[in-house]
Structure 1
Amino acid sequence: MNSSTSRFLSRSLAAWALMLSAPSLAASPAKAYRQEEVVAGSPFQGVHGLALDGKGHLLAGNLMGQTVHSVDLSSGKVSTLVGPPLGGADDVAVGPDGSIYWTGYFTGQLMRRTPDGKTRVIAKDLPGLNSLAFRRDGRFYVTQLGRGDALWEVDPNGRTPPRKVLSQHGFLNGFQFGPDDRLYGPLLLKQQIARIDVDTGTIEVVAEGFGIPTAVNFDSSRENLYVVDAARGELVRVRVATGAKEVVAKLASGLDNLEVGPDDQVYVSNMVDNDIRVFNPADGSVRTLVEGRLSVPAGLAVAPDDPDERLYVADVHALRQVGGRDGMMTQTTRVLSTRMTFPMNVSLGTKHVVLSSGYLGNIQVLDKATGEVLRTIPNTNGIQGALELPDGTLLVAEASTGRLVRVDTAEPAGTTVLTEGLEGPVGLVADTEATEPGVYVTEVRSGRVTRVRLADGARRTVAKGLKAPEGIARHPDGGLIVAEVGRKRLVRIDPATGRLTVIASGLRIGLPESAGMPPGHIPTGVAVGNSGTIYLSSDVESALYRFVPAQGDARP
């Protein structure tokens, strides 16, 4: 045997050994699928804080997408000013020197971008950092909300530590300084608009009786405040001197922020509808500047017996039902105006819809027929996938702890650890009809798909060598369909052999993970209809796609 033949055999044996030890890397030829758009995308993943830059553009914060955008006021064209991961903006403001400031709700960081394009952190360790505003004398204030409850004065240059002004004030949100140098803003927990003296800490009520007021802004007269009410979907004008209120526009629930231009045009953001609308006080008209259909599409589910393949979409700011065949939205349950809380994963039982949210840290069980929230179960362990088992108990993936836990049907809910030691469990799909019932789970950190036996928590590796697998679903033929986010592709895995087939690659999926969020962050959802059509959510594009098997080749 010559040396070249020896080297060839050596390489061949090494390749076979690799394939046997990591079967998920042995990709078989892909079957033919046709990629189609179900719901068109949007430039935002839920639009939040707004600020005019004085140059014909509206700056817009995109918290989930981790970006700060610039919107051309004449054309509505959206461009990215600061991309992920630095741009996770809940609110945005323009300083006296033209610097742009924004708040990182999850990161707890206050960011500054100078006019020459340099970006840096000027304050940190403030979880829940939310709204911000400058006073006329250049003093700068920010607030914590949800993950904190405090008002801080901050050095705009970041040279001195922040100074706490108030704490436990009732969740002060989008605020602005008035002509009297008092700070005006909503207190969410009290349904009030308040006036605050930042030097003395004195708080006075200006107006009350709102649903969930989220932001205020003065008009050009400085005598009236515009208020957005997220729960009622109203734009309200408040006479500051008397507190008298007038609803000037009925919009939709989910309103987040607003900005009033020098011409008194009112720009309003809606995080549920992922759009920006403009109210003209001269004639009461409302026009759309930027529109979207989905907000932050994440987890997906479809009932296996539904011939129309209606999709349940955990859209973070809403739970939507979308026709898999026609893309029509037939129902939307919105956050803030209902008891539902920011769904990131969704699964279907016989009678229930199960939602989970790493954003607010809970699981919710909804009546499938009515949409009523039946149970809300707190869990702050970075929850991702959640399933209802045949006996009514829930199985929950805790991505931060690496555990699968059972949640019983009692109130208050008790939990039992089924297994632990998983590395970032994200997606769950049941295999309860097998001789030994189990569940398949994707591990975003280890790159494995693992089967866990429900009887005793025993684990078996189905596939390894994947890169950041997230969403998972069962194909009608028993195969596992997985969103391999790290390689931007959709794959099929044979659960018996681990053999991998690439269905589609080069996909626009996988926003960067954000500090303060669990592994998997916004999960990429996968669902499969009985026809063999595969559905996939795109967090990067805020879109929904389907992969239709070629004629005569309905199953991979």
Structure 2
Amino acid sequence: MSPSLPRGVSKPLAVWLVMASCQALAVPPPVYRQEVVVAGSSFQGVHGLAVDGKGHLLASNLLGQSVHSVDLRTGAVTTLVGPPLGGADDLTLGPDGSLYWTGFFTGRLMRRTPDGKTRVIATGLPGLNSLAFRRDGRLYVTQVGRGDALWEVDPRGHNPPRQILAGLGFLNGFEFGTDDRLYGPLLRKGQIVRVDVDTGAMETVAEGFAMPTAANFDARREHLYVVDAVRGELVRVRLATGAKEVVAKLPTGLDNLAVGPDDQVYVSNMVDNDIRVVNPTDGSIEPVVTSRLSVPSGLAVAPEDADERLYVADVYAFRRVGGRDGKITQSTRVLSTPMTFPMQVSLSAKHVVLSSAYLGNVQVLDRASGDILRTIPNTNGVQGALELPDGTLLVAEATPGRLVRVDAAEPAGTTVLTEGLEGPVGLVADTEAEEPGVYVTEVRSGRVTRVRLSDGARRTVTKGLRAPEGIARHPDGGLIVAEVGRKRLVRIEPTTGRLTVLATGLRIGLPESEGLPPGYLPTGVAVGRSGTLYLSSDVESALYRFVPVP
């Protein structure tokens, strides 16, 4: 596949969808025409890179739970390890040609031998992030975020991991030099350090970075190339003096890099979900794999907006996308701003509410300016979040199965509205009813439930669904739900629970992975004032619309 023709462009743009209902209807079912809003990608935020010496670049795909190979001649992307085993934050090749990768969420270190056998060689290391071999074949890994330590791991998995250092300041993408010392960045300290893994001695090589995320040697091993995620810079560091030189300026969100034998530097950007190659002699930049979105999840559209512009929680960015033309008009990027990995989005008259189980918080933004007004920590697998008319927030906590109210004023006190839900994910308000309430999808139980706001009383609207996630209100009052387990889009009548299937065979629903809350990467649904339905695809990193046919 050419990098200029992402996956999804060749899909038929018109798909006639057939209704299947659990009850006979008096009127013909609605018919929709499926269209692409934003075409997809092979990745869901690309991370670690490694050059295999055979004309391919290996790339890790954490949220997509895959390991890929990119043909550097054609840009074609193939999958080496698919979900759920391939949830890799970083990867490397061992001396025998085995592929090793780190599971950030699972805390597992994986190995795939040249004959294709895959096995777990280490467990119990949450936040497992970067890894590299020393020249003598010893393997080292780090924990970042969910831990902060450097470990030595048996490459064959016969012996338990041995901790070398702890509390370093998040040692990320590193490499060993010809002196058998480890060279890598400390994210929290803005430094590049050299570590003697035998003694634990550590010294600073260079400093003054905003957020260095990875460092690799050039072909002569005289310089280190460093990517700075916040400044979007590729920096060359001279080992002998620590002197720094900016080689190329790129978009912010850089995650990792790999240096080829010809000294070409391949750089991954998780925000833009792409890979570029930099020629360090002149700083020129060329695309290798391109994308328009990273990981589109939650969706919202203002009911009064005739242009039906979409608010997209794109995990590594918050974006505005034209529902009719697919044009991306605004992006707020993580790392370089205080925004924290948005996965769900909702709108009120003045605010945008974002929530994220990635770093565990809810954020309230000014809808006009985009300024972040509040950040409220929540580590209970937070999913959907709404602002109610009185200014309080209603938040779905997927892990304990609760809906909680969060006070409008600071400090933000929390009150449980209802509990006993089984994986609440999607929320949509019904606050104009005589008894105001909210509809919630329960991914574990397969129910859509209405919760009364006055006292938390619950009523089952429908059951028997398989992994319902995104939910939205149609202008006529119907509920539109992404039934991820059956890969279809359904309509539910809120008073009777009657179900109508609107679309089937959808490319949605990456498998759940160990260490993640229910419905972790939600499939988003939104409905425009025209009745057009919008859907995010986590499998394809794409956006689709379903236009009603007269």
What is the TM-score with the length of structure 1 in the denominator? Answer: 0.94
Show the counterpart of 1:315: 314
Show the counterpart of 1:69: 68
Matches of 1:483 and 1:30, distance apart in 2? 18
Kept after mapping to 2: 8 A contact 1:511/1:540: yes
Matches of 1:48 and 1:82, distance apart in 2? 15
Identity over aligned residues, as a percent?
A: 81
The one-character-per-residue Cα deviations of 1:489-513 (angstroms, maximum 9, x if unpaired) are 0011000110111110000000001
Matches of 2:351 and 2:513, distance apart in 1? 31
Measure how far apart 1:412 and its partner are. Answer: 2.2
Measure how far apart 1:404 and its partner are. Answer: 0.2
Measure how far apart 1:25 and its partner are. Answer: 4.0
Show the counterpart of 2:413: 414
Show the counterpart of 1:489: 488
Show the counterpart of 1:95: 94
Measure how far apart 1:31 and its partner are. Answer: 1.3
Measure how far apart 1:410 and its partner are. Answer: 2.4
Measure how far apart 1:48 and its partner are. Answer: 0.2
Match of 1:223, as an amino acid? Answer: E
Write out the 4+ residue segments of structure 1 that deviate beyond 3 Å after TM superposition.
Answer: 23-30
The one-character-per-residue Cα deviations of 1:140-163 (angstroms, maximum 9, x if unpaired) are 000000000000000000000000
Match of 1:297, as an amino acid? Answer: P
Indicate the SS of the match to 1:38. Answer: strand
The one-character-per-residue Cα deviations of 1:198-241 (angstroms, maximum 9, x if unpaired) are 11111111111111110000001211110000011111111111
The one-character-per-residue Cα deviations of 1:412-443 (angstroms, maximum 9, x if unpaired) are 21100000000000000000000000000000
Q: Does 1:78 align with 2:77?
A: yes
Q: Does 1:532 align with 2:531?
A: yes
Measure how far apart 1:514 and its partner are. Answer: 1.4
Measure how far apart 1:282 and its partner are. Answer: 2.8
Show the counterpart of 1:277: 276
Match of 2:446, as an amino acid? Answer: G
Equivalent positions of 1:63-212 (< 5 A) are 63-212=62-211
Show the counterpart of 1:334: 333
Match of 2:105, as an amino acid? Answer: F
Match of 2:190, as an amino acid? Answer: Q
Equivalent positions of 1:155-554 (< 5 A) are 155-551=154-550
Measure how far apart 1:129 and its partner are. Answer: 0.2
Match of 2:23, as an amino acid? Answer: A
The structure with more helix, counted as a fraction of residues: 1
Kept after mapping to 2: 8 A contact 1:486/1:510: yes
Kept after mapping to 2: 8 A contact 1:24/1:465: no
The range that moved more, 408-417 or 525-534, is 408-417
Measure how far apart 1:135 and its partner are. Answer: 0.4
Matches of 1:258 and 1:238, distance apart in 2? 14
Kept after mapping to 1: 8 A contact 2:37/2:543: yes
Q: Does 1:26 align with 2:23?
A: yes
Match of 2:539, as an amino acid? Answer: V
Show the counterpart of 1:19: none
Indicate the SS of the match to 1:486. Answer: helix
Matches of 2:24 and 2:143, distance apart in 1? 48
Indicate the SS of the match to 2:485. Answer: helix
Match of 2:312, as an amino acid? Answer: V
Match of 1:162, as an amino acid? Answer: P
CA gap of 1:27–1:231, structure 2 versus 1, over 3 A, is farther
Measure how far apart 1:284 and its partner are. Answer: 2.1
CA gap of 1:226–1:27, structure 2 versus 1, over 3 A, is farther
Matches of 1:25 and 1:468, distance apart in 2? 18
Kept after mapping to 2: 8 A contact 1:24/1:464: no
Matches of 2:282 and 2:186, distance apart in 1? 30
What is the TM-score with the length of structure 2 in the denominator? Answer: 0.95
CA RMSD of aligned residues (A): 1.0
Matches of 1:24 and 1:183, distance apart in 2? 61
Indicate the SS of the match to 1:189. Answer: coil
Matches of 1:24 and 1:230, distance apart in 2? 50
Match of 1:183, as an amino acid? Answer: L
Kept after mapping to 1: 8 A contact 2:21/2:501: no
Matches of 1:497 and 1:114, distance apart in 2? 55
Matches of 2:59 and 2:53, distance apart in 1? 14
Matches of 1:81 and 1:96, distance apart in 2? 19
The one-character-per-residue Cα deviations of 1:155-178 (angstroms, maximum 9, x if unpaired) are 000000000000000000000001
Matches of 1:303 and 1:400, distance apart in 2? 29
Matches of 1:342 and 1:27, distance apart in 2? 43
Measure how far apart 1:27 and its partner are. Answer: 7.0
Indicate the SS of the match to 1:461. Answer: strand
Q: Does 1:51 align with 2:50?
A: yes
Match of 1:304, as an amino acid? Answer: P
Matches of 1:174 and 1:25, distance apart in 2? 53
Indicate the SS of the match to 2:46. Answer: coil
Matches of 1:108 and 1:138, distance apart in 2? 22
The range that moved more, 202-211 or 259-268, is 202-211
Measure how far apart 1:26 and its partner are. Answer: 3.5
Structure 2 gaps, min length 5:
1-19
The one-character-per-residue Cα deviations of 1:100-124 (angstroms, maximum 9, x if unpaired) are 0000000000000000100000000
Matches of 1:498 and 1:417, distance apart in 2? 26
Matches of 1:550 and 1:180, distance apart in 2? 68
Match of 1:547, as an amino acid? Answer: F
Measure how far apart 1:516 and its partner are. Answer: 1.4
Kept after mapping to 2: 8 A contact 1:34/1:547: yes
Q: Number of matched residues?
A: 529
Matches of 1:281 and 1:235, distance apart in 2? 9
The one-character-per-residue Cα deviations of 1:294-334 (angstroms, maximum 9, x if unpaired) are 11110000000011111010000000000001000000000
Measure how far apart 1:285 and its partner are. Answer: 1.2
Matches of 2:355 and 2:81, distance apart in 1? 30
Match of 2:31, as an amino acid? Answer: A
Show the counterpart of 1:8: none
Matches of 1:504 and 1:137, distance apart in 2? 55
The range that moved more, 28-37 or 494-503, is 28-37
Show the counterpart of 1:3: none
Match of 1:521, as an amino acid? Answer: Y
Matches of 1:508 and 1:538, distance apart in 2? 6
Q: Does 1:35 align with 2:34?
A: yes
Show the counterpart of 1:12: none
Kept after mapping to 2: 8 A contact 1:297/1:316: yes
Matches of 1:476 and 1:121, distance apart in 2? 50
Matches of 1:311 and 1:232, distance apart in 2? 28
Match of 2:381, as an amino acid? Answer: G
The one-character-per-residue Cα deviations of 1:386-417 (angstroms, maximum 9, x if unpaired) are 00001110000000001000000222211000
Kept after mapping to 2: 8 A contact 1:24/1:493: no
